[in-house]
Structure 1
Amino acid sequence: MTFARLRAAYATGVTPREVVEALDTSDDTVWTARADALAAADDLPRRFPGEKPPLYGIPFSVKDNIDVAGLPTTAACPDFAYTPTVSAPLVERLESAGAILVGKNNLDQFATGLTGARSPYGTPTNPFDARYIPGGSSSGSAVAVATGAVHFSIGTDTAGSGRVPAALCGVVGLKPSRGLVSTLGVVPACPSLDCPSVFAATVADATAVLDVVAGHEKADPWSRHLTPHTAAPRRIGVPRDLDDPDFAAAVARLERAGATPVPVDLAPFVAAGSLLYQAWVAERWTTLGDFVTAHPHSVHPVTREVLTKATTYTAADAFAAMHRLQALRAATAPVWDTVDALMVPTVPRTYTLDEVAADPIGTNAHLGRYTQFANLLDLAGIAVPAGFTPGGLPYGVQFLAPAGHDPALAALATAFEERVEVLLAVVGAHRTGQPLHPELAACGAEPVGPMWTAKAYRLFALPGGRPGLVRVAADGAAVEVELHRIPPAGLGALLAGIPAPLGLGSVELADGRTVTGFLAEAYAVAGAPDITAYGSWPAYLGAQVNFGSAR
């Protein structure tokens, strides 16, 4: 549910308590601590009896490396935990704006990693396919938003931790310019590069949150004043010679949004990003080294391997890296004379949990190919959904521009977002007029109309009054489905509530298109009545009603 829909619900008399009670926060892999959200919801009318502040009654969460007064800050390391008496300024700003804190989210330990699989609290489940990683380090924050457990979440983004999980979970991940949002009350990773980030269902919602948390903090040495650039970007740099059909489709959407793609050489950008887990890892050691040395067995093995590598670097190595980065900044500077912004994939690919377990450091490095250079080169960024791969996984792109261009990037991302169309084929109870259609509508779905599948499916009546669509190798037929357009984040929220043996997968239509649709696992239809001859689930239900009346 977007902020606009939630505000509309409040206008009809829905209460903050009712909104909080409807949230599902039962997945323990997503949470490290829960706040008393019901008490906060009940207190809102007293705190704001008149005009409502901008985030009134909107549930949110924060990554568990961000301080919340009275709740432990663990950074996903129980032995590191402490309980602050004062919240981070960004949390104070959100609560002052009327937002309701639901709890704290799981993360890659010490915000070190991009996989989401480096936490003693478990790995949050990818809402689209449990075999795949959710992305990190802000894994719990992305999953919480994607599944509708909260309406927005605050993460952090040093190497891509606010953009990678957004892409893998099908939500928006906004990485502001460094220093635009204070890092006071945030456990440091690389203090010179750290940046709070925002996860939300839409660009508009993420921007609304940024408007609240942004602002100079005198006590924060990394906070800074930035002149905002608002002119809508038109010339958009895209990687030269990138052979990726999903990205090609995103470029076509970019052109439909009125922008002009300009091929650029991304090599110096990628080279800058490669420095982050070389000499720059020593900066992590300045804040975490004493703890790791004193408590080596309290640290995740992969995290410990990454951090202790810092001890192999010398001061000369650090200065050499700084000089190399300065040269790469000079090499990338001319690009901004020819383009207003960059559009690149958010991640090169999505890895399975097994692939990450087999090569945790190599897969992590590849995940950060397009994200790690942003803070080193002082860029603002925003990751947005761009559809789905043929395998049914979310595909995302990110827009990048020099610091201060946050409003301009938001305008570009909004224009792109409006051109992204995710088509969902609905088979049964979620169709218009059927009992579960309100759930679909609540996820932002809009009907397109009926359509037939390719002649490759059979339809079954499953126990409990549900249909099951299954692709078959032989004797397939066309089955009528109903198409809906749905936001990627809405699709993630819908998927989280689909009970087994049903799920979402690729459905081939009669016109040759492949869309996301409801499918049943093959084992579930064994012995179930084959109702393909009726052509559709509504036709089958109608026949059953007529048969009963005749009797």
Structure 2
Amino acid sequence: MAWSPETGSLDFRTLHDAYRAGTLTPSAVIDAVYDRIAVRGPDPAWTTLIPREEALARAAALEASGEGPDALPLFGLPCGIKDNFDIAGYPTSEACRANERIAETTDPTVARLVAAGAIVVGKNNMDQFGMGLVGVRTDYGIPSCVFDPAYISGGSTSGGGVVVAAGLVSFALGGDAAGSGRVPAALNAIVGHKPTNGLIPFGISKAGMGASHTVLTLTVEDNVAALNTLVRHDPDDPLSLPEAEGFTLTVPPAPERFRFAVPSRESRLFAGDAAAEALFDAAIARLEAMGGTAVPFDYAPLHAAARMLYEDAFIARRYANLEETFRRCGDRFHPASREILASGARYSGADVFIAQYRLAGYRKYAMRIFEDADVMVTPTTPTTFTIAALEEKNIGRNAIMGSYTNFVNLMEFCALSVPNGFRPDGLAQGLMLIGPSFADNRLLGLGAAYHRALGLPMGATGHPLPVPAG
């Protein structure tokens, strides 16, 4: 079947197969993408769009280069960039108008994607300064879930989740300091992987130190292909790991037998969402049918650890990273952003050490779980909320959304969110696979197999998962 400019899939496999066959060109794809964006009309998923003619010039240059998907892993793939990464000549705002400036240079992370063949279409909306999992803390309009405009898209990589799931780009670059690359993936039925901290250098922004760069994609295989262009050791980055040199993300076959740790029924958190809990029960049954053995554990200690990210002295790290910006224009932050960041100034050095000691105990608890299980499996989020509900009670409901994601970042684990089906009202939920540092490939192999076993379309595109290569 011929690729349709209006509805054709933008997954990596579909586009690259068509490029190799000569039935499609990057220029045709970029024209189609901009037409789709125009049809959607004003869209708060974007803070800035690259002019069509500039993106088309980039596509034409790729076509004239004589290269292709075999030489450039992201050849001709349209992408969105979270608006806390700089692109020279374009605004960077981090979703705060008072902080907006024109970037003089391009972030090295973005430059590596472009060098691998990607075509940047625009910059995506986000929760201000990456502080939020709901997507409503922004001065640029609120992106909404692709399945229901009354509901949140998730954050902080809110716009990125929308544009991938809506079939406007092949992937979106984001970050993950609390679940920012996993929550939007879950709520929009796509894939988000938080790699092991230190695999990808940070570049020039320190606002998210303590986070990981992520990408949002339609498939696990696409996620791996995009992230592998970024994995490397940077000796000038104090948080970059030497082990990143030569490390390759892969999608190995799922094991025939495996053990997966799941929160016990008594310690589960669903905020009263019975439909979300039923989806998680179905996920456990599906994993068991795939050869897994469920190993229940008490989730309460890990939930206590998750709460420490924003409700304890660890928020002082965010304050330290953003102190200059907060002093300059904090009075013009979103009220929730301002309140949370201001709380980081009140902790002492002693408070930070006490919090670190407590976290070390929780991490020991988590590592003991991995002694008896190959992977930990939780919901990505307990539930979802309407945009109106977040306007009513922002900080408290945002905290609920991080119940399962936040501890992963504090413990510097890796985690993958894959789709886990839909509630009866048509809203998506995600399944999260968690492992210790450098267990990425274990998660990716099992997550890809689970995604395929689920058998649902990719995001809101209506397209099934492509047949795996080989």
Normalised by the length of structure 2, the TM-score is 0.87
Q: 1:3 aligns with which of 12, 18, 25?
A: 12
Paired position in structure 1 for 2:226: 209
Paired position in structure 2 for 1:364: 398
Letter in 2 for 1:46: A
Is residue 237–residue 264 contact of structure 1 (8 Å, CA) maintained in 2?
Answer: yes
Is residue 233–residue 241 contact of structure 2 (8 Å, CA) maintained in 1?
Answer: yes
Aligned: 1:173 with 2:162: no
Paired position in structure 1 for 2:29: 19
The residue correspondences of 1:224-243 to structure 2 (distance < 5 A) are 224-226=241-243, 234-241=258-265, 242=268
Letter in 1 for 2:241: R
Q: Distance in 1 between matches of 2:365 and 2:421?
A: 33
Paired position in structure 2 for 1:444: none
Letter in 2 for 1:398: M
Shift of 1:70: 2.2
Q: Report SS of the residue matched to 2:192.
A: strand
Paired position in structure 2 for 1:505: none
Q: Distance in 2 between matches of 1:117 and 1:198?
A: 20
What is the root-mean-square deviation of aligned Cα atoms in Å? Answer: 1.9
Q: Report SS of the residue matched to 2:243.
A: coil
Q: Distance in 2 between matches of 1:119 and 1:414?
A: 33
Alpha-carbon spacing, 1:389–1:366, altered in 2? closer, same or farther (3 Å) = same
Q: Distance in 1 between matches of 2:211 and 2:160?
A: 17
Q: Distance in 2 between matches of 1:411 and 1:67?
A: 32
Q: Report SS of the residue matched to 2:377.
A: strand
Of 322-331 and 135-144, more deviation after overlay is shown by: 322-331
Q: Distance in 2 between matches of 1:258 and 1:3?
A: 29
Letter in 2 for 1:188: A
The residue correspondences of 1:404-419 to structure 2 (distance < 5 A) are 404-419=438-453
- The superposition leaves residues 228-284 of structure 1 with CA deviations (integer Å, 9 ceiling, x where unpaired) of 697856211111114821101111221232222211222222111111002111111
Aligned: 1:39 with 2:57: yes
Paired position in structure 2 for 1:122: 141
Higher Cα radius of gyration: 1
Q: Distance in 2 between matches of 1:194 and 1:71?
A: 24
Compare relative contact order (CA 8 Å, sep 6+) and give the higher one, 1 or 2: 2
Letter in 2 for 1:212: T
Q: Report SS of the residue matched to 1:135.
A: coil
Aligned: 1:248 with 2:281: yes
Of 40-49 and 54-63, more deviation after overlay is shown by: 40-49
The residue correspondences of 1:40-189 to structure 2 (distance < 5 A) are 40-49=58-67, 52-189=71-208
Q: 1:288 aligns with which of 322, 338, 341?
A: 322
Paired position in structure 2 for 1:541: none
Q: Distance in 2 between matches of 1:187 and 1:174?
A: 21
Of 294-303 and 213-222, more deviation after overlay is shown by: 294-303
- The superposition leaves residues 147-179 of structure 1 with CA deviations (integer Å, 9 ceiling, x where unpaired) of 011010011000011101111111101111111
| Runs of 4+, deviation exceeding 4 Å | 227-233
Unpaired runs of at least 5, structure 1: 423-485, 494-551
Shift of 1:86: 2.8
Is residue 189–residue 459 contact of structure 2 (8 Å, CA) maintained in 1?
Answer: yes
The residue correspondences of 1:347-358 to structure 2 (distance < 5 A) are 347-358=381-392
Q: Distance in 2 between matches of 1:15 and 1:239?
A: 47
Q: Distance in 2 between matches of 1:270 and 1:297?
A: 32
Aligned residue pairs total 428
Alpha-carbon spacing, 1:49–1:321, altered in 2? closer, same or farther (3 Å) = closer
Q: Distance in 2 between matches of 1:52 and 1:46?
A: 14
Q: 2:43 aligns with which of 28, 49, 67?
A: 28
Q: Distance in 1 between matches of 2:65 and 2:26?
A: 13
Identity of aligned residues (%): 39
Alpha-carbon spacing, 1:125–1:21, altered in 2? closer, same or farther (3 Å) = same
Alpha-carbon spacing, 1:185–1:48, altered in 2? closer, same or farther (3 Å) = farther
Q: Report SS of the residue matched to 1:4.
A: helix
Q: Report SS of the residue matched to 2:320.
A: helix
Alpha-carbon spacing, 1:307–1:42, altered in 2? closer, same or farther (3 Å) = same
Alpha-carbon spacing, 1:418–1:256, altered in 2? closer, same or farther (3 Å) = farther
Q: Distance in 1 between matches of 2:399 and 2:57?
A: 43
Q: 2:425 aligns with which of 380, 384, 391?
A: 391
Is residue 197–residue 212 contact of structure 2 (8 Å, CA) maintained in 1?
Answer: yes
Q: 1:340 aligns with which of 352, 374, 377?
A: 374
Paired position in structure 2 for 1:467: none
Q: Report SS of the residue matched to 2:242.
A: coil
Q: Distance in 2 between matches of 1:82 and 1:487?
A: 35
- The superposition leaves residues 90-116 of structure 1 with CA deviations (integer Å, 9 ceiling, x where unpaired) of 212211111111111000011111110
- The superposition leaves residues 277-317 of structure 1 with CA deviations (integer Å, 9 ceiling, x where unpaired) of 02111111112122222323321111101111112212221
Q: Distance in 1 between matches of 2:349 and 2:376?
A: 33
Is residue 169–residue 492 contact of structure 1 (8 Å, CA) maintained in 2?
Answer: no
Q: Distance in 1 between matches of 2:95 and 2:177?
A: 17
